[in-house]
Structure 1
Amino acid sequence: MRPQSVMLTFLGDHVYGRGVCVSSGSFIEAFAKVGISEEATRSTLTRMVRRGLLRRRRSGRRMYFGLTPTSAEVLKDGERRIWHSGVVNDADEDRWTLIGFSLPESWQRQRHELRSRLVWAGFGPLQNGLWMAPGEVDVAHVIEDLGANVKVFSAEPRCPTDMQALVRDAYDLADLGERYRAFLRRWDRADPAPDAPDDLARSLTLLTEWLQIIRTDPRLPLRHLPHDWPAGKAQQVCHALHERFGPEAARIAGRLLDVVPDETWAER
């Protein structure tokens, strides 16, 4: 697991919404439980400050770190994906967002950036310059600041369109399905994460692995997926284990968290 991914999990589960800044020592102690060194933790904190995901605050001789509007939005999105929208799309409507774009061949950086943002937003390539995503997607944040010539449509499939074939071509279902099955092999057992020292470590590992999967899941309509699609069962396992690990994980985190009030919180 990447240290930044673990950092976001920890912030989302134990810091987000509390209006506090957390000492570097607390992060170091928590992350040591999942095998992340002090050097890697300090480097991750510095890198996240540089990227605008954390802000520093000194109190006495100690350094504390608080959320920024950017990281708060990232954590809000993660909360929505885990606990609200879920991974199973069983909506009655078969609606899709289509986005067509045109960029000069010389704009290699913008082209790569746009494609990365499209994948993050749940889009898959339908054909050259035309991508699709399930549901109604607000693409304003996807195309902003890129200068791309973009056209966006909302559409429904019509006969003789073979949507299952289109979905298989646009998305790597084999890879995504295997990631869910690997999650189940690791966690759907009597002794999940047996090497973890405590429930805080188990909870951090569980949610970090889960977020890494679902952030790449476009939530495709269930009607177009294989009949044995494993996402639903994997989600049930994740939620059940988080409920099982959560109370003790919160107690452990409460004991090790050294915090000061985030003075910017009331301004947001």
Structure 2
Amino acid sequence: MRAEEEIIAGRLPGDQGQPPHHRFIVTVFGLYGRHSGGVIPVAVIVRLLQELGAEPASVRSSISRLKKKGVLVSERVDGQSGYALAGELEEHFRTGDERIFFPRPARAGDPWLLVSFSVPEAERSQRHKIRSGLGRMGFGAVGPGLWVAPAHLREEAADYVRRNGLEEYVEFFLSQHAGPGDLKAKVAQWWDLATLEAHYAAFIDAYAPVLAAWQGRPGRDDQTCREAFCAYVPMVTQWRQLPFLDPGLPAEALPEGWKGEAARTLFRELHTLLGPLSARHAQRAIYG
């Protein structure tokens, strides 16, 4: 699980001890290192990260750390040293892709998933594992042993429980809110909406000008693709924390003027505009 912990730390907001270039490496491998053999030569990783402003020595240090954590494995490609993502992480990245690129906000009337758990005091480490796992998936805490999220997280939550051997402590229930309290008020108690909206606002502030600068810009020449790569990878890196903080809460349960939908729209437009150009630059660098 050390490898997954390293990736999860890279999508948590705030200072988690990971410099930006370290997170960029994971993003680059997640976007471009999972196809055509998945091996990226070290020299190419260094060159791509230099384009994002990182020093070669820092990049090599981060690569070494990711190898030690089990995120990357050494490979050879065309006689050169290279790295690929560890095969056992593919399912983790696939789940992440769904969250990041294909979000599924719940609708009014959709069921909720309740996760109830009870752990003996002598096994408190298991309690921490349950709480931290649910929190990282975006669940809200109703009480000490009762957490809630939109029901579409059921498969992801069940997989986490199964992989961590927590089945004996946990029960799942699908439910509808039936009062007596106001659901919007309850959601505001169960999730830290103010902090979440601040993250959405920061994303909008950072990338609305980027979208304005790229809209209507012609060309697919090498320089344009390189500039798209330099904008797209940091954008995805900043965005990928948000779908794990917001599990797709229904609009009807959120405050008026909620910035989440505007942020999602901005991400989709940037992904559509910059993604293909960035991929062209990265694939040219990796595969020639």
Query: TM-score band (shorter)?
Result: 0.7 to 0.9
Offset from partner CA, 1:59-115 (integer Å, 9 cap, x none): 5763111232333223212321232225xx242433111111122334343322221
Offset from partner CA, 1:179-226 (integer Å, 9 cap, x none): 00111111112348xxxx822110101111111222222111111001
Amino acid corresponding to residue 113 of structure 1 in structure 2: K
Task: Describe the SS at the equivalent of 1:63.
Answer: strand
Return the match for 2:286 from 248, 251, 257: 257
Bigger Cα displacement from structure 2, 165-174 vs 144-153: 144-153
Structure 2, unpaired ranges of 5+? 1-18, 215-225
- Looking at both structures, which has the greater relative contact order when contacts are Cα pairs under 8 Å and sequence separation is at least 6? 1
CA distance in 2: counterparts of 1:149 and 1:17, whole angstroms: 38
Tell me the residue number matched to 1:164.
184
Q: CA RMSD in A?
A: 2.5
Aligned 8 A contact 1:53 1:67 in 2: yes
Task: Describe the SS at the equivalent of 1:188.
Answer: helix
The TM-score normalised by the length of structure 2 is 0.79
Structure 1, unpaired ranges of 5+? 260-268
Percent identity, aligned pairs only?
28
Task: Describe the SS at the equivalent of 2:174.
Answer: strand
Aligned 8 A contact 1:126 1:170 in 2: yes
Return the match for 2:241 from 212, 218, 224: 212
Tell me the residue number matched to 1:109.
125
Bigger Cα displacement from structure 2, 170-179 vs 139-148: 139-148
CA distance in 2: counterparts of 1:80 and 1:97, whole angstroms: 19
Report deviation, 1:229.
1.1
Report deviation, 1:158.
0.7
In the TM superposition, what are the counterparts of 1:122-137 in structure 2 within 5 Å? 122-136=138-152, 137=154
Amino acid corresponding to residue 157 of structure 1 in structure 2: H
Runs of 4 or more above 6 Å deviation = none
Aligned 8 A contact 1:122 1:134 in 2: no
Bigger Cα displacement from structure 2, 137-146 vs 181-190: 137-146
Task: Describe the SS at the equivalent of 1:57.
Answer: strand
Task: Describe the SS at the equivalent of 1:26.
Answer: helix
Aligned 8 A contact 2:39 2:77 in 1: no
